[in-house]
Structure 1
Amino acid sequence: MNVAERLEELQRRARKDEKIRNMLFDTRSAQDPLEAFCQASQALGVPIYEMELIEAGEEFYAAIRRSTNGGGENSPLLEGEDDFYELFFAGL
């Protein structure tokens, strides 16, 4: 299962269970939100690690850039499209 699939699984569970949803939303107020989110996901049995989450976002964004206008400097600036952490919460 890749990172996106694990995030979808976590999202599915959070939509069904308010306790899980609140646990994940509470990570946003932690001193290091990304680390807290990954620890919470691991505690829930969905292994997500900080660097793989960051890398997945960057790879996704790079693929989008390559697909628009040949990926050159004229490609549109896509604000926040590489932040899977924020996109996860937007999806909830």
Structure 2
Amino acid sequence: MNLAEMLEELRKEVLADPGLRERLLDTRKEKAPLSAFCSLCRELGYPIYEMDLIQEGEEFYASMRRSTNGGGENSPMLEGEDDFYELFFASIAFENPGLDR
């Protein structure tokens, strides 16, 4: 299972378990939030490490740059699309299955 698949599986678990959502959100309050997040992921059975998240984001960003406008310096700057850590939290930030929207 690749990193994106692991994060998607974890997101599905969060939807089913609001307590898990809170535990994950609480990692952002730690002195080293990325390390705390990865440690909790490993505790939950997802072998995610800090460099995995960073590398996956950089590879995704490089792929996006290569695919737009010939992939050169004229490619648009992307903001946030390369940060899988922040994208994961954005995907769970407003998830609250117990509340009507």
Is the pair's TM-score, using the shorter chain for normalization, greater than 0.5? yes
* 1:88 maps to amino acid: F
Give TM-score scaled by structure 2 length: 0.88
TM-score after normalising by structure 1: 0.96
| Alignment partner of 1:16 is 2:13 | no
Number of corresponding residues: 92
Q: Which runs of at least 4 in structure 1 moved beyond 3 Å after TM superposition?
A: none
Which structure 2 residue ranges, 5 or more long, are not aligned? 93-101
Letter in 2 for 1:17: D
Bigger radius of gyration among the two:
2
Aligned to 2:97: none
Cα distance in 2 between the residues matched to 1:19 and 1:41: 14
Cα distance in 2, alignment partners of residues 4 and 70 from structure 1: 26
User: What does 1:1-92 correspond to in 2, within 5 Å?
Assistant: 1-92=1-92
**Aligned residues: CA RMSD:** 0.7
Give unmatched runs, 5+ long, in structure 1: none
